[in-house]
A and B are shown apart, each in its own frame.
Chain A
Amino acid sequence: MSLRDPRGDGVFSATFKYWSVAPAVLVLAALTVLPALALLRMSVSTITFSEGHEHWALTPARNFAALFTDPGLAATVVNTLLFVIVAVAIEMVVGLALALLVGGLARGKGLMRTLLIVPILVPPVAIGNMFKLMYNYDFGLFNQILGALGLPAVSWLGSTSLALWSIVLVDVWHWVPFVFLILFAAVEALPIDVMEAAHVDGANRWQMLRRIKLPLLMPAIVVALVFRAILAFKAFDEVYLLTGGGPGTSSELVSLHLYRVFFEQNQLGYGALLSVLTIVVVLSMLAAGRRVVVGAGAA
């Protein structure tokens, strides 16, 4: 979507074109290229420590073989996919609904926006610990409410069938504001004249939504979806603090597995390989998703 350079503007435009991208590119080049390359190199090496130094050995076969002998890796991947798909779907729907609702307000938008972003302002370590308290079987808020309603207590974090979904709930609470914020900004930027024209033409609420608003909101929806999905893949604090991956492997996510391998076990090479593979998988999914979206005629 680039416009041709207008007459008489040549030099300034050209300079502007380059220097406006320069800072971003410089920052990326300075801080991301070398660490990323180091990560790649690490993924095919084994690193050991002795006599006060690091020793790198090239061992691609050994690292890849470790993938197959890693117990529970398959279950972890399945859990992660489930977690990402369900959590992100709920967050997108709820976030969009809220954005449209707040967008339709006459007054108090600023206040609503401030209130609705409270969950992402709370420090993640506090969220994990607070929800752990709320989910507590004997004294937690949720079981207290259930008890007051005469219902039996639920083992939110102690049941293999519920643990993952309890974490999904926390994730939804935590991240709906993220989606809301992005989509609300897009809703605010919707051109009023187009809306009014459609209204005059007799479009009802649902038609407005589907045929006009949604297509206009698509770019923002895509961005929210992509970044929310990536963040969901990286979700760590909540799982680590709430269940530690348990009971059993029912709530084990890839990020937690990576943390165990890379940090706790100090297996830097294999851990780096897991990171690289996660990146490859996520990028592939995004590329595939983009093809689907482009094929459907949107964006």
Chain B
Amino acid sequence: MTALTRIASLRRFTPATRARMLGIALFALAIIVVVGPFVWVLANSFKSPIAILTGAWSFTPTLDNYVDVLSSKRSDFVHALMTSLVVATTSTAIVVAIATLAAYSLHRFAWARWAVRALLVWTIAFHVIPIITMVGPWYVAFRDLGLYDTRTALVLTHVVINLPVALWLMMSFFRSVPPEIEEAAMVDGCHSLAAFWYVVLPLVVPGLIATGVLAFIFSWNEFTIALNLTSQANATVPVVVSKFANDYEVQYGPMAAASILATLPALMLMFFGQRFVVQGLTLGAVK
């Protein structure tokens, strides 16, 4: 088929189908662009350092990088993975819970406008403060409390840095719940907690997922606080990965392997976690 007949044949499709084809093409492009670099990192993780440096397309795969990351004395990677998992899941659960409750209360009940505004502005202001200026006082505070180099300290600080986003997100989702549904629940005799739990919450499940995913990711990838508040015993994954870039040399091979190892568990958790949340909450929904 020549080019002209090809184009002419496209006219056979309706505008709707053409739009869909364009959509699919854009989709494919998006997936390639988004996942492409990750695949490149995956390839790098199996290359020897010199193959990475030369950007070789054909290479003999090696497991050296993974061996280095998993068994090297310097990295304690597996231990850091465990720490990261514990800290991220705990802080996510806590921050989603308290942010959702607070957001619902601020949205649903009669609060003075200045109080709501003050809280929201304070969370934004706090969110803008660079973390490096906060870790100093936190280090001293946690050390005085005997909580330096503990997972508790990490969980608490991760909760507070994710609280602004979580609070604002949940408030925006509560706002998009039609008020008639809540009023209906009330008239039916539910008290606030029941209305919240059985009626409103299932309607904001997408928001809960988004908030949970973001909180988890921010906690998982958080570096500065983890570096300052822990020693090697409680280091998290980003701290361990950063050690592969030392003062004048970046070990691209182990860093690629560590990146893959750091991303895959989070990815698995995301994929299965969101299904669990959706199932668990829709079970209790009242239609």
Contacts and interface: CB of A to CB of B under 8 A. Distances in A.
Contact of B168 (A122, A130, A226): A226
Contacts of B179: 1, 3
A23 interface: yes
Interface residues of A, number: 97
A111 B262 CA distance: 19
A21 B106 contact: yes
Given A9-B191, A123-B259, A189-B207, A2 B108 contact: yes
A201 B266 CA distance: 44
A246 interface: no
Contacts of A233: 128
B193 A178 contact: no
B99 interface: yes
Contacts, number: 277
A35 B138 contact: yes
Nearest to B238: A123
B168 A275 contact: no
Interface string A183-204: 0111011010000000000000
Q: Which of A34, A104, A189 lies at the interface centre, i.e. has the most chain B CB atoms within 10 A of its CB?
A: A189
Nearest to B245: A129
Interface in B110-156: 110-111, 119, 121-130, 132-134, 136-138, 141, 156
Interface of A: 1-6, 9, 12-13, 16-18, 20-21, 23-25, 27-28, 31-32, 34-36, 38-39, 42, 94, 97-98, 101, 104, 110-111, 113-126, 129-134, 136, 139-141, 144, 173, 176-178, 181-182, 184-186, 188-189, 191, 205, 216, 219-220, 222-223, 226-227, 230, 233-234, 237, 241, 255, 258-259, 262-263, 271-272, 275, 278-279, 282-283, 286
Interface of B: 19, 23, 26-27, 30-31, 33-35, 37-38, 40-41, 44, 52-55, 97-99, 101-102, 104-111, 119, 121-130, 132-134, 136-138, 141, 156-157, 159-160, 163-165, 167-169, 172-173, 175-176, 178-179, 182-183, 186-187, 191-193, 196, 203-204, 206-207, 209-210, 213-214, 217, 220-221, 223, 237-238, 241-242, 245, 250, 252, 255-256, 258-259, 262-263, 266-267, 270-271, 274-275
20 contacts: A2-B108, A3-B179, A13-B109, A16-B192, A21-B102, A27-B98, A31-B157, A31-B160, A38-B136, A119-B34, A123-B259, A129-B250, A130-B41, A130-B256, A133-B252, A178-B214, A181-B213, A186-B206, A262-B130, A278-B130
